[in-house]
Amino acid sequence: MVLKIGDKIPELLGIDADGNEVMASQFKGKKLVIYFYPKDNTSGCTAEACSLSNGYDNLLKAGYAVIGVSKDSVASHRKFSDKYSLPFKLIADTELVLNKAFGVWQEKKMCGKVYMGTVRTTFVTDENGVITHIINKVNTKDAANQILKEIK
């Protein structure tokens, strides 16, 4: 089953860049931005992470915590997070559990080649972990402002 607006997110979200389990209940009472991206240290993913980092204080003021998710490893996330001083958790979804649950692991095409990959998507939840918004066309360079405009 693919999660959609009105659905509750799973309790176990995965393992972060420090090797710790991340649970939805850790964010109880907070709204949550969960953004899925294809790969650490690529241009679009770096632009998106930096936009969210730059807009992080505004997201916090609006009551939102932020989590990034990709299929990269814990070690890759640690380097990516350190390199750009990211203030939020990155989840290593190496087994694609979250990617598949949220329906972002899909067939993609590039240069005539067809392959499976993460479709860049942002999910927003309320204080109870229920999805309220899904952003499919993410503006990587202005991701934080795009989210803030969407949730008003």
- CB 130 within 8 Å of CB 24: no
- How far is 42 from 119, CA to CA, in rounded Å? 14
Alpha helix locations (H) across the chain?
43-54, 56-61, 74-83, 97-101, 143-151
Per-position DSSP letters for 57-88, written without gaps between them: HHHHHTTEEEEEEESS-HHHHHHHHHHTT--S
45 has catalytic annotation: yes
Options 45, 66, 90, 144, the catalytic residue: 45
- How far is 114 from 136, CA to CA, in rounded Å? 20
- CB 70 within 8 Å of CB 39: yes
Residues that are catalytic = 45
